[in-house]
A and B are shown apart, each in its own frame.
Chain A
């Protein structure tokens, strides 16, 4: 008993579809333009002849990017930060969330208040900078890891999930004489894989994408993560960074914009490659966050 659609309804659905496809186009065009530009000749690019399809194909821009030691150094720093930082994040998050998920733990309220207060009232930038400096972290990779070692928000997501686990299971383990450390490691964590994957992704993406902490704490060019390098070539058009590793003839045949575009594409590829496989975990995480409010 399908209800026949009125003409007005079909009209609305048609327009809706067209509008949403237009939205998709708006999402894609900037990326396609940069991709096309990175594969186009200097001549076509500087005369604004490139739309969303390459003109006078060339891969020279990518050759320069792939031979740029400064770019790969920054890329490597980011990989290290993501691996180390996320590992520390997960350790801190689960260790803090497990005791706080025990509703009857004495002192729990006080610790929760201590943590939640930091979410609504944040200390100004300079005093935070002075603490990091005082700890001797300036110009070390630790400065990119320790100040963000634990996210109160993610910890609460984790805690909420832990609380939903069947209490009888944990009780039974306790009766068997299992220590709390082993319960966390061998019972709670294996049962919490969905939330743990989501949190790993949240933390990893935020490490990969962040450049603010690096801008604050890192002045040694050797320790720059990828996004700080990207800032230098995008916002400051830093030629030294862009052209490192190549010289003379090949650079003459390329435009700085073409190199910037190729660099943007190479820096985007890791995220775009991983994204389709992990999309559902992110969506779950975003929903968990919203339930919490």
Chain B
């Protein structure tokens, strides 16, 4: 009873407000859709767009007590400080180098693994291999870090134990050495994600038309020739799209993966933008400065993605959008 009255009231109000407005009538008729959208839109506005507005503190001297609006404008002071800051180059170098290693080593790894798994004829073996290589994807980065610590520890580590008993040398401090940190980060990342990465390529491989192989065989192509002329072109779209996504994330290495490995002895080569923003920003309270760092990071990531997409479209016709 109450509900119908309210509905009638809304209807009459809508008639008064905009008599005959097609847009309003459409909205009233389909209002459940818009009501459903409210929580999602509110979420994105509050959790994603408000922080974007808050990014103005990169151009202000943010003071917790004054708040964002009342803090003073400082123009590009933080960016000036950022680009003249000796540590900045180091962070940029670490971030880009680790990203580069990931693209060179971690990116092709699942492609190669998928190709080899695809050649397996024994179905049970294939299934066992798949189950095992997918599993690490579901472990958290803290667990993965724990496994790596236990493998490399100088006291109890399996690898160090083998090294010592084979060579008789003293154990190597891999976890405390700046020279090995990047290798540890990239290889533990491969360990965790290589299997999961094969799923997409395995699907792409089964999607290749078998008649193409047949035609190639009739033309006298051997296995290797078939791989070059049929398999690789068949995988190219998937490879390009994933490579573009990876390029869009060159500045985003993932805090969770790297942070457990960073200590004062290896920070020189392992500290990246993500870990630095946390340490200097959240722990150190340098709000404005680290926001400038973060903004720099987001803008560069965005530009790289746009440029890479353009280049890829020009070269191969494949793009993200």
Residues of chain A whose beta carbon lies under 8 Å from any beta carbon of chain B: 9, 12-13, 16-17, 19-21, 23-24, 26-31, 33-34, 37, 45-46, 48-52, 91-92, 95-96, 98-100, 102, 105-107, 111, 114-115, 118, 120-131, 135, 146-147, 149-150, 152, 155, 179-181, 184, 205, 208-212, 215-216, 227, 230-231, 234-235, 255, 257, 260-261, 264, 267-268, 271-272, 275-276, 279, 282-283, 286-287, 290, 293
In-complex Cβ contact of A27 among B136, B140, B153, B259 (8 A): B136
Shortest Cβ distance from residue B133 to the other chain A in the assembled complex, whole angstroms: 6
Interface size of B by CB at 8 A reads 95
How many angstroms from the CA of A91 to the CA of B143 in the assembled complex?
Answer: 30
Contact between B294 and A287 (Cβ–Cβ < 8 Å)? no
Contact between B36 and A126 (Cβ–Cβ < 8 Å)? no
Contacts of B260 in A (CB 8 A): 231, 234-235
Is B37's beta carbon under 8 Å from chain A? yes
Q: Mark B97-138, 1 if CB is under 8 A from A, else 0.
A: 000000000000000010011011110010011011111101
Is B185's beta carbon under 8 Å from chain A? no
How many angstroms from the CA of A125 to the CA of B43 in the assembled complex?
Answer: 17
Contact between B116 and A257 (Cβ–Cβ < 8 Å)? no
Contacts A290-B238, A293-B241 known; list 6 others, CB within 8 Å. Answer: A16-B120, A20-B117, A48-B158, A92-B39, A264-B146, A268-B143
- Residues 24 to 81 of chain B near chain A (Cβ within 8 Å): 26-27, 30, 32-34, 36-37, 39-41, 43-44, 46-55, 57-58, 68
Is B234's beta carbon under 8 Å from chain A? no
- Residues 237 to 267 of chain B near chain A (Cβ within 8 Å): 238, 241, 248, 255-256, 259-261
Q: Mark B153-170, 1 if CB is under 8 A from A, else 0.
A: 101111011001100000
Q: 21 A-B residue contacts at CB 8 Å?
A: A17-B122, A20-B116, A24-B133, A27-B136, A29-B158, A106-B27, A111-B41, A118-B44, A121-B52, A123-B52, A125-B290, A125-B291, A127-B57, A212-B256, A215-B278, A234-B146, A235-B260, A235-B261, A286-B200, A287-B203, A293-B241
Contact between A9 and B158 (Cβ–Cβ < 8 Å)? no
How many angstroms from the CA of A124 to the CA of B57 in the assembled complex?
Answer: 11
Contacts of A208 in B (CB 8 A): 140
How many angstroms from the CA of A21 to the CA of B113 in the assembled complex?
Answer: 12
Contact between A279 and B131 (Cβ–Cβ < 8 Å)? yes
Contacts of B125 in A (CB 8 A): 17, 20
> Which chain B residue lies CB-closest to A257?
B156
Contact between A46 and B40 (Cβ–Cβ < 8 Å)? no
> Which chain B residue lies CB-closest to A208?
B140
7 closest A-B pairs by CB: A124-B294, A127-B54, A96-B40, A48-B161, A123-B51, A209-B140, A180-B32
Contacts of B213 in A (CB 8 A): none
How many angstroms from the CA of A135 to the CA of B51 in the assembled complex?
Answer: 12
Contacts of B305 in A (CB 8 A): 120
Given known A-B contacts A45-B156, A212-B255, A122 and B33 have beta carbons under 8 A apart:
no
In-complex Cβ contact of B158 among A26, A33, A102, A155 (8 A): A33
Is B147's beta carbon under 8 Å from chain A? yes
Contacts of B119 in A (CB 8 A): 12-13, 16
In-complex Cβ contact of A96 among B36, B140, B293 (8 A): B36
How many angstroms from the CA of A181 to the CA of B34 in the assembled complex?
Answer: 11
Given known A-B contacts A20-B120, A111-B41, A124-B294, A131 and B47 have beta carbons under 8 A apart:
yes
How many angstroms from the CA of A152 to the CA of B261 in the assembled complex?
Answer: 30
Is B277's beta carbon under 8 Å from chain A? yes
Given known A-B contacts A180-B36, A276-B131, A209 and B281 have beta carbons under 8 A apart:
no
Contact between B129 and A23 (Cβ–Cβ < 8 Å)? yes
Q: Mark B271-294, 1 if CB is under 8 A from A, else 0.
A: 000000110011000010011011
Contacts of B51 in A (CB 8 A): 123-124, 127-128, 130-131
Shortest Cβ distance from residue B56 to the other chain A in the assembled complex, whole angstroms: 8
Shortest Cβ distance from residue A114 to the other chain B in the assembled complex, whole angstroms: 6
Contacts of A146 in B (CB 8 A): 47
Is B88's beta carbon under 8 Å from chain A? no
How many angstroms from the CA of A102 to the CA of B145 in the assembled complex?
Answer: 44
> Which chain B residue lies CB-closest to A9?
B223
In-complex Cβ contact of A114 among B41, B142, B277 (8 A): B41
Contacts of A95 in B (CB 8 A): 36-37, 39-40
